[in-house]
Every structure is written in structure tokens, then in C-alpha cells.
Structure 1
């Protein structure tokens, strides 16, 4: 089996936590490294580098074509030689490449959105929304990480074929550590949609002495980074910046809880990493965390600053609850181990190819 993976805007070779690099990079790297044990994988990204081996049977191919038409043509030239069995595009920009290729190649096309613009509460990119609709109508299968997202897509587009496969986590890298007492942790890009403003507002309501460590770099330039840094002035907030994914596990282990205040979170890989580290998650119940974290691996509240503050205080004052939520989270995370998720993808690919 030979898989053509398209990730136009984001390379798995880039470090996660800054720019356009985040959970999707981690997802692509981990999933396809596992799948490469039984498949040949080519990952196409935009860039000036040439071809880079990510591991046995897995190659990252940089194409220096900003034009999506030229980008698609270049992949088709590779396809003539390599004869792919399936195309899997990731994110809406890659989906545009898929739309172009569908006209020229007759192999199954799967698409994963990772972030769906039309599902955001304050969606503003009308062009992107229209393109996402066209992708849903045109691709052979949508792969969705949550049942809720799959259900909404099916309700809006009854003819669409949607398969639900959750994201995964490396349960050998992310393991339990000691209790971090009053050390709070945020992991993610410094981006308005990640909700750091509401987390800072919640911290101002707390009467107990806590410390918040923020891991992640700015999404675009330094404007957002400097803005939130200024907004948090006077609080015990430590901006650590971006750390490698290999170092991240130590920060989870030293924390007492991880807070994910995102306004929109399609799935939430940080939530899985937190659970694998046996730490409780605090977040909002209108995000993808409701399916992974649920009510037994953390505290998910209605979107409100006071609710967020109350959840933080509740966990700070209850070490036993922190331990119990973390213990359940670790157990649940084992189900999402990348070995299991990659197996689900392999069986899905195999079934589609045989049709």
C-alpha cells in the first residue's frame, strides 16, 4: 500500500508550538511513522527543501510551488511513477489541492479538516467556508476525530461519507509524574482562538497563590505574544516559549493540572497528552474535549470566566480529586495510543482500497 499525504501549509519537520505548526504536525508525524511499518508514505508539503526521509518507508517531499495548480501537477507527476493507492489531504488548503487532483486521478481521496471554519463560533473567512463545503461534497471520505463533528457534517451534508477515527497520543513518552501542587500549565500556540485572555481573567479572580506556565510560541509574528504578555502583567505567569515535543512530558509531569481555554478545539491533542501524563484537564464543554476528557478525566465547564476560576480553585484545594481524575485519564489515554489509532487507519485505508 502506498499513501499520498498532502499537508501543504505545515511540514511535520517543523517544531510544534509556533507559527502554523501545532497539533496537526504532531498528528501527521506520529500517525504516519506508525503506518510506515506496513505502508509506503509520501508526505507533500510546500517548501524549498528537497526530499527528507522521516524514517523507513516515509518521505517528506517539499514542492516549491505556491500555485496550488502547479503543486497538484507536481504530485501527479510523482503519482505516475509511484502509483498511489490513496490520497489523504490534511487541512482546507491541502483540500484545495485534492479538488484539483480529483479531476485528473481516479484513486480514493480522503480529507481531514483538523479545524473546520464553519464550526467556529466567530467564523469570518467566507471564502474558506465555501471551499470547505466544496471539499465535503467532492472528496470520497471525510475522516473526523470526533463523533460530534461527524454528526454535524452528516446533518449539513447528508450525502457525505464520514468516518470517525480519533487522534492519538504517545503513552510511552507522556507518563505520570509527581503532583505539581499549585503549578498550572497551558500548552499551545499564542493565538486569540486559544483563549489565553479568558484564562488570564480567571487567574485575576483567584485569591489563592498559583503559578501559570505557558508553553508555546506566537502563531503569526509577535503581536499576539506581546499582547497577552502585557495583559498578564502583575500575575505569576511564566512565558516559557516553545519547547521540543520531547521535552514537553517533563512540564506535564511537574504540573498539577493543564488548562485548555480554547474558544474552538476540534479534538485537543493537548488534552490527550495531559491524560497520558495522569494530570486533570480543565476546559470548556463546548469543544472536542467533551468526547476525550469527558466528566471523569477533568473538569469541563460552561464557557464563563467565573466557571473557569471556580474549577481551578476546586482542583487546587482537592489533591485526592486531582489524583483520581489523573488516574482515570491515564487509563483512558491508553485506548488512544498511536499503535491503536494507526491500526484503525490502516484497516480503513485497506477497506477503502478494496472497494
Structure 2
């Protein structure tokens, strides 16, 4: 069986990581390809490609540059993709096409609309990675989702994603949880000894709760027992820089710093004491699961798709990103015995619920269900 995964780009991202983990399956009789819609060009791209190729996955690069500008480049790429897809389909004749995130979803939709005969014998599978889809594109949402629902292609990654999709589109997809694995750990050399080192890592966008991150940084600015490492980039980077520079007070924060994204981040997670995730919503947070399985406790907002990754009685959960909840949580973080205990608890939960091999096998079973 030949399976094509369509991803936005060979770059750092939760959906891309899921596609890579599925494609790395060692199941007999499965041949995996990964196709990007936009050409990834970050420092992480060569590492990602090397990892896939080492696992025997065939990688197909795009020639359209990855430029984010009001979703315009993504739409152009989707409209041009049928020319490339025709060549791929005639050359590879895949049994399954598995798409991830909105840009590949839209590209595949355009292909099916323009060349429906090309997909008569191909199973289409689509993973829904987020609780919110097609923001600002309601008409596109209706067109694209109608196709995926008709073909019974959809798979949700969590209860929150399934319920959000059912509430908006009236269809309840099956659930296959994302899988993560334990990664050999190496020391992060930029820690601040003698302090509780807290990591925030991710895109600096509203979804990730960057406003709340800045509120917490201001709240904790006088407490030198903590040191915050913020690793990421995005549209709200200026807000973070303004906060670290002292904002209206003009007094720079001395217990926090901003770094670019940390590549190979999972291999450094155990170096930190806690991970801070004030996300407003997630699909099923890969970073939270990777942190747990590598024994890094997560300070989390009880957002859909984030709370699903942690034990039901998790003690480091804030409700609605309330600052009073975070103030209470931070008072518990000095106790090493407490941290060891909840790190064990999180790791056991992640091992039980988010196995990579289980995810691979369940998707491969889904690939074999009758074509629609």
C-alpha cells in the first residue's frame, strides 16, 4: 500500500510531526511518501528531511516559497497544486492520500474538484488537528468540509476536536490520538542554576496565550527565584520584547529572556523544571505530550486540546488563564519532591494514552477501510 501525506511544509510544527511519526511506521507492506505544499526553508528543514529519509520515507519538495501573508500565498499554492498533483498521481498511483492542516486540505479539495476521476480508486484521509478551522474563511469551510464529510475521511485527534467539529459541521469523526515517544535527553547549557527554570516554547501568536504570558512575566518580575526562557517567533514577538524591556515602567525584566525557536527541543525538555502553556485552544498539544513523556511537568490553561493531554486531576491547571490561579500554582513549584512526583504521574499518563505505535496501527487500519 502506497500512502502520501500532504503537509504544509517540511518545518517545525505539530501536524508535520504527526505526519512524520505515522510515516516512520515499520509495518510490512506500507510505503510512505510526504509531500509539502510550500517549500520549507528554516534551519529545521534539513534536519526534518534527514530524519524522514533515514526512516525510509520518500520526500517530495515544493517549488513555491513558504511566505505567510494573509493566507494569500497558501491560496495561490492550493490553486496551482493540481498541476503538480497530476504528475504525482500518474507517477505514484497512491492508494491513500492523507492530508494535514488547512493549506494541504484546500490544495487537495481543489484537486478533487478539478480532476475527480483521478481519485476514484484512492482513499482520502484527513486529520483534524485543531478545534478551530478556517478562521475568517466561512465559505471555504463549507466547500472543503462538505467533501471530507461525504468521503468519510475525517479523523479527530481529541475529544475537544471531535466535539468542536461536530458542533460546527454536524459530523462526528472518529478519534485517533497523536503519539509521542521518549527522546534521549541532553543538557541545555543556558539554564540559570539555583533558579526554577520555566520554559515557554511555541509560536508567538494569540492562540498560544501570549498576552497571558506577558501578564505572568510582569506578575513574576520581582521574584528572582524563577527564570523564564521564551523560545519562539511570530506576530506577537514585539509584545514580548516590549514586556521584557519593561513596558511602561522602562525597567527591563531580569528573570526572563527571549530566544529563537529551539530546534530538536524534545531532546532538551528534561533540563527545565516546568513548561508553561497558557494556550487559548489547541488540537491535541504535541508539546505538552512530549514534555510529559520526557518528565517535564506542564503548567497549563484548561483549554480544549490542552487539558486532554494531562491527567484529569492535574494540579498545575489554571482555569480560564486566571492570574490568581497561576499565582497559586507558582507558589507550589519550589518543592523538588512535588516536582518529581508529578513528573512521574505525567509520564505514566502519556505512556498509557499517547503511544506512537498505537497511533500508527490505528491509522493503518483506517487506511484499509472501504473507499467512499
* TM-score, with length taken from structure 1: 0.82
**Other-structure match for 2:177:** 166
SS of residue matched to 2:98? strand
Count of aligned residue pairs for this structure pair? 333
Matches within 5 A, 1:145-156: 145-156=157-168
**Other-structure match for 2:97:** 87
**Other-structure match for 1:208:** 223
**Other-structure match for 1:101:** 111
Question: Is this contact kept in 2: 1:89–1:110, CA < 8 A?
Answer: yes
Moved more, 187-196 or 68-77: 68-77
Question: Is this contact kept in 1: 2:4–2:33, CA < 8 A?
Answer: yes
Residues 63 and 249 from structure 1, CA distance in 2 versus in 1: closer, same or farther, beyond 3 angstroms?
A: closer
SS of residue matched to 1:351? coil
Question: Is this contact kept in 1: 2:158–2:175, CA < 8 A?
Answer: yes
* 1:10 equivalenced with 2:17 (yes/no): no
Return the alpha-carbon distance in structure 2 between the equivalents of residues 305 and 152 of structure 1: 23
Question: Is this contact kept in 2: 1:33–1:55, CA < 8 A?
Answer: no
Q: CA deviation at 1:146?
A: 0.2
Q: CA deviation at 1:328?
A: 0.9
SS of residue matched to 1:74? helix
Deviations 1:219-248 (A, max 9, x none): 3xxx53233111222321121212221x54
Match of residue 331, structure 1, among 325, 348, 351: 348
Return the alpha-carbon distance in structure 1 between the equivalents of residues 194 and 108 of structure 2: 46
Consecutive unaligned residues of structure 2, counting only runs of 5 or more, are 41-48, 65-75, 246-251
Q: CA deviation at 1:32?
A: 1.1
Question: Is this contact kept in 2: 1:71–1:97, CA < 8 A?
Answer: yes
Q: CA deviation at 1:192?
A: 2.6
Q: CA deviation at 1:126?
A: 3.7
Return the alpha-carbon distance in structure 1 between the equivalents of residues 307 and 217 of structure 2: 23
Consecutive unaligned residues of structure 1, counting only runs of 5 or more, are 17-21
**Other-structure match for 2:43:** none
Match of residue 22, structure 2, among 25, 28, 31: 31
SS of residue matched to 1:117? coil
Q: CA deviation at 1:128?
A: 5.0
Return the alpha-carbon distance in structure 2 between the equivalents of residues 200 and 320 of structure 1: 29
Match of residue 259, structure 2, among 232, 240, 264: 240
Question: Is this contact kept in 2: 1:188–1:194, CA < 8 A?
Answer: yes
**Other-structure match for 1:195:** 209
* 1:288 equivalenced with 2:305 (yes/no): yes
**Other-structure match for 1:19:** none
Residues 230 and 48 from structure 1, CA distance in 2 versus in 1: closer, same or farther, beyond 3 angstroms?
A: closer
